[in-house]
Amino acid sequence: MEKIKNILSDDFINSDVTIHGWVYRTRSSGKITFIILRDSSGIIQCIANSVNLNEEQMKELSSMTIESSMEITGSIKKETRAITGYELAIKSYKIYERNENFPITKDLGEEFLLDNRHLWLRSREFTSVLKIRSTIFQAFSDFFYKNDYYQVQAPMLVSTATEGGSTLFTVDFFGEKVNLTQSTQFYLETLIYSLEKVFTIAPSFRAEKSRTRRHLTEYWHAEAEVAWYSNEDMMRDEEQMIGYIIDQVIKNNEEDLKIINRDINMLKKIKPPFQRIKYRDLIEMSKQFGMNLKYGDDLGADEEYSIMINFDKPIFVTDYPESLKTFYHRPDPDNPGEILCHDMLAPEGYGEVIGGGERIYDLNQLMERIKNNDLNEENYYWYLDLRKYGSIPHSGFGLGMDRLVTWICGLKNIKESLPYPRTIRRIKP
């Protein structure tokens, strides 16, 4: 049994091969039927003609339907008119399932396609997005393994909030109300005291009421935490990581990028280092882009879009005002009111993909921030312990993997970046 991609080669000309797959398209003209078969690796035109097949077989093949499953054996030849340059002349075949009326046809509404996501995701474009996504996940892990990080895991059912109460999902835990995690950060912080450099990829949950192009209620969150790192140290690893991931995608997924019409030249520009811009300077700079922002304004999807359509490489926005970020961020001792943090904003209008920075490591400072934020100190006893026993400066970050896939693939909406998006209104299939 061969994979289709492998037989699209002069090495197979005139040899007999057997392939497995699903009918991608069919066309009959007079006595000839063309079946385009797909498998996970690609597509090939198969031709049924009466030289090799009897009348009954010809009739059966001429009535094959889209997404029916089959095995085909035949010989390969070069055929410039065929969609992938080669053609398989069918000598024998087996039908596993011949379906009627595959529900996905062209020009269907978005809701219908989302209801039928389990079928829609077979499309060629979606398959390419998922292949690129797979490369991105592998490259993320590989980068950190190569740089002496350990991969760790942490719970998804938690009693704390990391990113504020407004986006918490609560679940019933044997009569007690607990939360689905918003971020693994605090658990990663506990692990740096033994492992020093750690990372994880896990789902995070946000009860986001906002319906934007870039919000999911369940998303894949890649996070890292490093002992002794400053904000600048952390940004340096992040930009190298992004450069590495994009190199891997260019190397492994050129064909997929073509299938989804992604301009590869835009990706080739993404080489570290990335520019660092202080929040207050960005507010000034935004006037150049015709925007009317003032110091203290939060940057949402729209603002970041208007800024980032002017860049073709990511930027780091640093030193946000304290009021805009959560309680654990370390204030800058030299610039009161500002924190030692960064967001990485992706170019071409995509905006925030990473949030990170230094963490408070002084016990009193952290207790005060917890109190001022009306959080229950008791729930954070273990987080506070880290500041009592061998506290050290450290930094970390969180990367929205689905946002990264959306940007790298040049997609319009984050929902296109993963098989089963969970948004405010969707929990099926």
Q: Does 349 bind ligand 4AD (CB under 6 A)?
A: no
Contact string (CB under 6 A) for ligand 4AD, positions 219-238, x = contact: x-x-x---------------
Q: Does 402 bind ligand 4AD (CB under 6 A)?
A: yes
Q: What share of the chain is helix, strand, coil (3-state, %, to 5)?
A: 35, 30, 35
* Residues 168-197 contacting ligand 4AD, CB under 6 A: 182-183, 185
Q: Does 331 bind ligand 4AD (CB under 6 A)?
A: no
Q: Does 421 bind ligand 4AD (CB under 6 A)?
A: no
Q: Does 247 bind ligand 4AD (CB under 6 A)?
A: no
Please, which residue, 22 or 186, has the CB nearer to ligand 4AD? 186
> Residue from 38, 133, 197, 206 that binds ligand 4AD (CB under 6 A)?
206
Please, which residue, 70 or 353, has the CB nearer to ligand 4AD? 353
Size of the site for ligand 4AD (CB under 6 A): 24
> Residue from 115, 208, 232, 233 that binds ligand 4AD (CB under 6 A)?
208
For residues 343 and 361, give the distance between their C-alpha atoms in angstroms, rounded to a whole number: 20
Please, which residue, 42 or 396, has the CB nearer to ligand 4AD? 396
Please, which residue, 42 or 349, has the CB nearer to ligand 4AD? 349
Q: Does 162 bind ligand 4AD (CB under 6 A)?
A: yes
Check: CB of residue 50 under 8 Å from CB of residue 33: no
| 176-180 β-sheet, strand order | 157-158, 176-180, 170-173
How would you class 142 by CB atoms within 10 Å of its CB: exposed for 0-12, middle for 13-18, buried for 19 or more? middle
Secondary structure tally for the chain: helices H, strands E: 14, 16
CB of 26 to ligand 4AD, least distance (A): 39
Q: Report CA torsion sign: 153, 156, 158, 163.
A: positive
Q: Does 128 bind ligand 4AD (CB under 6 A)?
A: no
Element (H, E) at 221: strand 218-227
Stretch that binds ligand 4AD, among 84-92, 245-253, 276-284, 351-359 (CB under 6 A): 351-359
How would you class 417 by CB atoms within 10 Å of its CB: exposed for 0-12, middle for 13-18, buried for 19 or more? buried
Q: Does 355 bind ligand 4AD (CB under 6 A)?
A: yes
Q: Strands 315-318, 275-278: parallel, antiparallel or unpaired by DSSP?
A: parallel
Q: Does 262 bind ligand 4AD (CB under 6 A)?
A: no
Q: Does 163 bind ligand 4AD (CB under 6 A)?
A: yes
Please, which residue, 93 or 199, has the CB nearer to ligand 4AD? 199
For residues 201 and 215, give the distance between their C-alpha atoms in angstroms, rounded to a whole number: 18
Task: Write b or e for each residue in 203-241: b if 16 or more Cβ atoms lie within 10 A of its Cβ, otherwise e.
Answer: ebbbebeeeebbbbbbbbbbbbbbbebbbeebbebbbeb
Cα angle 409-124-347, degrees, rounded to a multiple of 5: 10
* Residues 295-324 contacting ligand 4AD, CB under 6 A: none
Tokens of 82: 């065929």
Q: Does 352 bind ligand 4AD (CB under 6 A)?
A: yes
Outline where DSSP puts E strands in 49-190. 69-78, 86-97, 150-151, 157-158, 170-173, 176-180
Contact footprint for ligand 4AD (CB under 6 A): 162-163, 182-183, 185, 206, 208, 215-216, 219, 221, 223, 352-356, 396-400, 402-403
